[in-house]
Amino acid sequence: MIHPLDRLGAWRLARTPAVFCDGWGDPAAVATLDIGLHPLSPPPPLTVRWERRWSNDGLEVRDASFSSPAPLPSPASHGRLRTIAPAGGAARWCVVMPAWNDEGFHGRTPFAVSLARRGVGAVLLECPYYGSRRVHTLGPAIRTVADFALMGRAVVVEALGLLTTFAERGPVGVTGYSMGGNLAAFVGALAPRPIALAPLAASPSPAPVFCTGVLRHGIRWDALGGSEAPSRLADALGAVSVLSLPSTPTTSRAVLVAALHDGFVPPSATATLHAHWPGSELRWVRAGHGTLWWLRRRVLVAAVLEAFGRTDPPPPV
């Protein structure tokens, strides 16, 4: 049963189809969708250039920029991040991955503030092709499947680099909601060392979300080739799957959260990811996709804290 608000989202998508409105795009870029079949070499730490800093209600907020190590068109190659942490500093740091259509940092800020108030510094990575990193200045940020492929690979590479950068400050982890949860799952599976991992409303692959969930109503299928497009897109996006990567000490200790009535991320997809990671925990919540994010934040934050608890070293005897 799909939550009523998710059904409303499907209706709105059907009235304003825009996803992949310019079709497939560059075939060479589409070919990079095999990220799940070819694990990335761990990138070196990112060279972060710290810029603005200000305090707000006991928290310290800092903005920074970096040059993306991934191949991206300008201005997407100019990376940006924001950290939100307790004013006295944080002993643990968590990269919060962006969701679909997440422009800038505002959508994740309440979640980051909740983490910071519990002692975890949040690192908000601005997604390539969105916000100040937009390539297409008007209309949808992601206009082709090629855009999606380049964006997804780049943001995973950048997050892995940020984990290395922030590991100098203490234990690190990664989380994210919806598309951010899928990206976090990739980062956790590819991380060269154990980290805290909390994918939220996550699918192991983009394929169920775009081809089975209500997001399919917003896709320009005519631009992708008409009646054969759904099968072709499912095959292309299905190649991008965490299921192609082995379970690791990080993934076996992951804490996942899913909505029982999610219309965007099929609950069965999250269950499949959980089954692929023996030892992981999956927490079900009676909610829809939007209501889980906006109304059950405490549950999501608790999952991140528990993920850190599973990776923290045991106290000395």
Q: Between the CA atoms of 6, 11, 17 and 23, what dihedral angle is there, to the nearest 10 degrees?
A: 50
| Domain CATH code at residue 137 | 3.40.50.1820
* Residue 35 confidence (pLDDT) above 70: no
Rounded Cα gap, residues 207 and 218, in angstroms: 14
* Residue 40 confidence (pLDDT) above 70: no
pLDDT band at 239 (very low <50, low <70, confident <90, very high): very high
69 burial class (0-12, 13-18, 19+ CB within 10 angstroms)?
A: middle
Residue 235, C-beta contacts closer than 8 angstroms, at least 6 positions apart: none
Q: How far is CA 156 from CA 88, 180, 247, in A?
A: 29, 10, 18
pLDDT at 94: 98
316 within domain boundaries: no
* Residue 281 confidence (pLDDT) above 50: yes
For 131-173, the pLDDT digits (tens) are: 999 999 889 999 999 999 999 999 999 999 999 999 999 999 9
* Residue 16 confidence (pLDDT) above 70: no
At residue 200's C-alpha, the angle toward residues 197 and 203, to 5°, is 100
Average pLDDT of the chain?
A: 92
* Residue 67 confidence (pLDDT) above 90: yes
Closest alpha carbon to 184 in 119, 280, 89:
280
Residue recorded with tokens 């991320």: 265
* Residue 36 confidence (pLDDT) above 60: no
**50 or 17, greater pLDDT:** 50
82 within domain boundaries: yes
Which percentage of the chain shows pLDDT scores above 70? 90
* Residue 4 confidence (pLDDT) above 90: no
For 72-114, the pLDDT digits (tens) are: 999 999 999 999 999 989 999 999 999 999 999 999 999 999 9
Q: Helix/strand/coil (H, E, C) string of the chain?
A: CCCHHHHHHHHHHHHCCCECCCCCCCHHHHHHHHHHCCCCCCCCCCCCEEEEEEEECCEEEEEEEEECCCCCCCCCCEEEEEEEEECCCCCEEEEEECCCCCCCCHHHHHHHHHHHCCCEEEEEECCCCCHHHCCCCCCCCCCCHHHHHHHHHHHHHHHHHHHHHHHHHCCEEEEEECHHHHHHHHHHHHCCCCCEEEEECCCCCHHHHHHCCHHHHHECCCCCCHHHHHHHHHHHHHCCCHHHCCCCHHHHCCEEEEECCCCCCCHHHHHHHHHHCCCCEEEEECCCHHHHHHHCHHHHHHHHHHHHHHHCCCCCC
Q: How far is CA 243 from CA 80, 87, 130, 276, in A?
A: 30, 39, 27, 7
**How many domains are there within the chain?**
1
317 within domain boundaries: no
pLDDT band at 33 (very low <50, low <70, confident <90, very high): confident
Domain containing residue 39: 4-311
